[in-house]
Amino acid sequence: MSAATRTRPAPASTRTAGGVRESPLSRAAAMLVMGVFTLYFLVPIWWLLVSATKDRGQFTSTNPLWFADMNLVENVSALLRYDGGIFVRWMGNSVAYTAGGAFLATLLAAMCGYALAKYRFLGREAVFNVVLGGVLVPATALALPLFLIFSQVNLTNTFWAVFLPSLVSPFGVYLTRIFAAASVPDELLEAARLDGSSEVRTFFTVSVRLMFPALVTVFLFQFVAIWNNFFLPLIMLRDEAVFPVTLGLYSWNTQVNQIPELRGYVLVGALLSIVPLIVTFLLLQRFWRNGLGAGAVK
């Protein structure tokens, strides 16, 4: 799961050294298991894609896993026009929460993890252990306390109510610390210091580059976490204008019984809402893989 564990050279060496070839049977079994899981993950997306192309009558009456008449364009344009284009606004909000939040969260996590890995100071391990404890507390459990705290400072129902809590990523700190310890050599920092570079400059010009694969991983994790964040906005937000797309679609979905045309909008909206995730993954995957390779050679 984490880049840090994968970059250990051990798996690569056993593969080249080990002469044991797997039997065709066990390979087939492995393929079968993977095939089943692939289906398990892809069928719902396929269903979503197919459903989004149908009009309301055909949605219930035709085969759920195959196309009927192609109505995708009509459905999408109806969704974008519904209620004064509120869906577009929600997508925009989600992008703002997510891109900004993930970027800043990654930066903070990188600084924190780097400091924990490279500087010796009193209470370092204590700080790190507290952060590790943070990994264990689910974000959901923090939503209500956060609401009560934000209520005290009158920040509920604002952009900040969702944005600020997403800037923290304990897992990111953990990952960057491990990665900084492994991939940023102390000698290099020493050399930078001798050349007169300040600590901040060293961090941004040298260390960040060396930690880049880990940072991409942290960014991706945080991106997905914020994009899919639902419970915190549900508790914090009342104003439709600041909803992220997850909460907006959920609100619509609770009203499907009353306004049945919303069902179609929820489906098409759900399809559109996963597009940014896919795009981000495809774009950043390259850096990720580069990083894995770089680690293996070292």
For residue 44, state whether it binds other proteins (rule: CB under 8 A): no
Radius of gyration of the chain (CA): 23
Q: Which stretch binds other proteins (CB under 8 A): 21-29, 96-104, 142-150, 283-291?
A: 142-150
For residue 137, state whether it binds other proteins (rule: CB under 8 A): no
Q: Which residue from 23, 60, 120, 123 is in contact with other proteins, where contact means CB under 8 A?
A: 60
For residue 250, state whether it binds other proteins (rule: CB under 8 A): yes
For residue 160, state whether it binds other proteins (rule: CB under 8 A): no
Q: Which residue from 128, 228, 251, 276 is in contact with other proteins, where contact means CB under 8 A?
A: 251
**Minimum distance, C-beta of residue 56 to other proteins, in the bound complex (Å):** 7
Nearer to other proteins, 128 or 231 (CB): 231
The neighbour count for residue 288, using CB atoms within 10 Å, is 18
Q: Which residue from 122, 126, 141, 283 is in contact with other proteins, where contact means CB under 8 A?
A: 141
Distance CA 37, CA 35 (A): 5
Task: Choose among 209, 17, 244, 207: nearest CA to 118.
Answer: 207
For residue 234, state whether it binds other proteins (rule: CB under 8 A): yes
Residue partners of 31: CB distance under 8 A and separation at least 6: none
Nearer to other proteins, 106 or 246 (CB): 246
For residue 237, state whether it binds other proteins (rule: CB under 8 A): yes
Q: Which stretch binds other proteins (CB under 8 A): 96-104, 186-194, 231-239, 283-291?
A: 231-239
- 298: burial class by Cβ within 10 Å (0-12, 13-18, 19+)? exposed
For residue 259, state whether it binds other proteins (rule: CB under 8 A): yes
Nearer to other proteins, 57 or 92 (CB): 57
Q: Output phi, psi for 42, to 5 deg.
A: -90, -30
Q: For residue 136, give both structure tokens.
A: 């264990």
Q: Which residue from 144, 191, 275, 278 is in contact with other proteins, where contact means CB under 8 A?
A: 144
Q: Which residue from 38, 140, 285, 290 is in contact with other proteins, where contact means CB under 8 A?
A: 140
- Binding residues with other proteins: total (CB under 8 A): 37
Distance CA 186, CA 172 (A): 21
* Cβ–Cβ < 8 Å for 169, 222: yes
Residue partners of 105: CB distance under 8 A and separation at least 6: 166, 167, 168, 169, 172, 218, 222, 226
The neighbour count for residue 146, using CB atoms within 10 Å, is 19
Task: Choose among 176, 165, 130: nearest CA to 291.
Answer: 176
* Chain residues that interact with other proteins, rule: CB under 8 A: 56-57, 59-61, 83, 140-141, 143-145, 147-148, 151-152, 154, 156-157, 231, 234-235, 237-240, 247, 250-251, 253-261
